[in-house]
């Protein structure tokens, strides 16, 4: 039975009928009606029925009806067409091997109708992930990431990997995790911002990264994680942030389009995906404030939109037929130190979907004196930025980019209410395990 161990998931089809095949997986259900037993095994492709007659093989029958649910077995047997089996075929076993016995009781049911609370599910994530509707989220996540690689590479972006252990805070703010790096103090990167910008001084003038963000934000919300992932892009030789926005909106469109190809997973999740209208609407910060004022929501000019204001604007945009929209021309004080500006307006933008921020980006300051001034004006110390500023002193083209949250995107795509559902092992204010 050695071959059973090298089993790789197969999709049974008509060609397999009346042939001996190998299958392996987790036991989902056992129905023993005395003389005959039906065992459902599951792998990542779906479920298969094993039908065993007691009189044909009392040994295999005994093994299969006494084994605990969620144990792992492999089976060798005849594949037969069956009208009664749920996917149209069954396997009559000739040999089975028990690969791993599951302890009882299970900490969490896999096919039980009772909903467990999110904490129990996340505490037992390895079992939670056996559920097909949970796996579907991560299969869709996999395919949207594939779309990222396909689209950005087709636009001649080079994938890079920048450090996550760094010597200064990437976004200039607080919310940074400190750690001991031998004799020195280090930080976990809040984003690849400083590195992707430095790369613009190298000639690798279009880069992207599937990045990890580490943020010590205290708030425990349904839209924030302390460790999240993003698509980070940086591109040089741009005339304005509009060129960056064009790449971002096309990327979002391609990811959405790719997600639609996951027909089985979308059916499992009972979700329909409609392509967004394209190109996305652009609304300036000033106009957004006016629209909000008309609804009696007042914001002081210069302040960033809070989540309530974002939601209200989302509703206004929805009424006008826009799920996706860019908010452009933010005041400089609402954007980070590296953002290019003209007088009091920055060249920064956010991409919003139904009142949730999915991405933000900008054209960057590439003049080193202007950049140093902004760092000082933002009350940040120049000291931590030595390596970053050095890259601006020896020739760096105008450039810009964005950071685009992958979990936030999945929430919007699949209408998932809690961001923790969109990452395998979430890190939040209280969760560090598993």
Active site residues: 215, 217, 223-224, 357, 360, 408
Shortest Å, Cβ 315 to ligand AMO: 19
CB 272 within 8 A of CB 266: yes
Q: What's the rounded Cα separation, in Å, for the pair 37 and 9?
A: 23
Of 12 and 194, CB closest to ligand AMO: 194
The neighbour count for residue 160, using CB atoms within 10 Å, is: 16
Shortest Å, Cβ 134 to ligand AMO: 19
Of 16 and 217, CB closest to ligand AMO: 217
Shortest Å, Cβ 42 to ligand AMO: 32
Q: What's the rounded Cα separation, in Å, for the pair 204 and 391?
A: 13
Token pair, residue 10, equals 């197969």
The overall longest dimension of the chain from CA atoms, in Å, is 87
Question: What residue ranges bind ligand AMO (CB under 6 A)?
Answer: 171, 191, 193, 213, 215, 217, 224-225, 228, 230, 232, 357-362, 401-403, 405, 407-408
Shortest Å, Cβ 335 to ligand AMO: 9
CB 122 within 8 A of CB 426: yes
Of 76 and 337, CB closest to ligand AMO: 337
- Please tell me whether residue 109 adopts helix, strand or coil conformation: coil
Token pair, residue 31, equals 């129905």
Q: At 27, phi and psi to the nearest 5?
A: -80, 115
Q: What's the rounded Cα separation, in Å, for the pair 325 and 208?
A: 22
Of 76 and 157, CB closest to ligand AMO: 157
Of 230 and 317, CB closest to ligand AMO: 230
Shortest Å, Cβ 284 to ligand AMO: 18
Shortest Å, Cβ 363 to ligand AMO: 10
Task: Name the strands in the sheet holding 281-284, side by side, starting at the edge strand that comes first in the sequence.
Answer: 158-159, 206-214, 227-236, 399-405, 356-363, 348-353, 324-328, 281-284
Of 280 and 402, CB closest to ligand AMO: 402
Of 76 and 404, CB closest to ligand AMO: 404
CB 77 within 8 A of CB 53: no
Q: At 320, phi and psi to the nearest 5?
A: -85, 5
81: Cβ contacts below 8 Å, ≥ 6 apart: 17, 88, 89
Strand 46-53 vs strand 36-43: parallel, antiparallel, or unpaired? antiparallel
Shortest Å, Cβ 419 to ligand AMO: 6
Residue nearest ligand AMO, CB atom distance: 405
CA 313 to chain centre: 25
Question: Whats the size of the chain, residue-wise?
Answer: 434
CB 97 within 8 A of CB 73: yes
């Amino acid at each position: 039975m050695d071959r059973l161990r090298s089993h790789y998931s197969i999709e049974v089809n008509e060609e397999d009928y009346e042939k001996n095949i190998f299958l392996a997986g987790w036991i989902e259900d056992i129905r023993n009606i005395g003389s005959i037993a039906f065992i459902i095994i599951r792998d990542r492709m779906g479920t298969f029925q094993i039908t065993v007659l007691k009189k044909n093989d009392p040994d295999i029958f005994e093994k299969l009806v006494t084994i605990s649910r969620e144990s792992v077995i492999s089976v060798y047997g005849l594949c037969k067409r069956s009208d009664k089996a749920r996917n149209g075929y069954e396997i009559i076993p000739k040999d089975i091997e028990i690969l791993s016995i599951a302890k009882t009781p299970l900490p969490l049911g896999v096919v039980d109708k009772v909903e467990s609370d999110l904490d129990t599910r996340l505490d037992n994530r390895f079992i939670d992930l056996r559920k097909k509707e949970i796996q579907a989220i991560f299969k869709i996540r996999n395919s949207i990431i594939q779309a990222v690689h396909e689209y950005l590479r087709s636009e001649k972006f080079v994938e890079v990997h920048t450090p996550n252990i760094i010597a200064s805070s990437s976004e200039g703010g607080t919310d940074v995790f400190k750690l001991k790096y031998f004799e020195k103090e280090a930080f976990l990167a809040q984003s690849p911002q400083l590195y992707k910008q430095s790369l613009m001084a190298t000639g690798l003038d279009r880069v992207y990264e599937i990045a990890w963000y580490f943020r010590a934000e205290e708030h425990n919300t349904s839209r924030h994680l302390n460790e999240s992932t993003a698509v980070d892009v940086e591109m040089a030789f741009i005339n304005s942030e509009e060129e960056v926005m064009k790449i971002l909106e096309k990327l979002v469109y391609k990811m959405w389009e790719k997600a639609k190809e996951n027909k089985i997973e979308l059916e499992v999740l009972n979700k329909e995906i409609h392509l967004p209208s394209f190109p996305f609407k652009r609304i300036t910060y000033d106009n957004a404030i006016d629209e909000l004022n008309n609804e009696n929501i007042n914001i002081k000019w210069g302040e960033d939109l809070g989540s309530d204001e974002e939601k209200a604007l989302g509703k206004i945009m929805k009424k006008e037929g826009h799920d996706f929209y860019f908010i452009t021309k933010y005041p400089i004080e609402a954007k980070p130190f590296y953002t290019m500006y003209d007088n009091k307006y920055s060249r920064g933008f956010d991409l919003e979907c139904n009142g949730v921020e999915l991405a933000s980006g900008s054209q960057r300051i590439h003049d080193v004196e202007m950049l140093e001034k902004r760092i000082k004006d933002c009350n940040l110390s120049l000291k931590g930025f030595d390596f970053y500023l050095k890259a601006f002193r020896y020739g760096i083209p105008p450039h810009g980019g964005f950071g685009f949250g992958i979990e936030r995107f999945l929430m919007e795509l699949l209408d998932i209410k809690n961001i923790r559902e969109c990452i395998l092992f979430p890190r939040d204010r209280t969760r560090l395990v598993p």
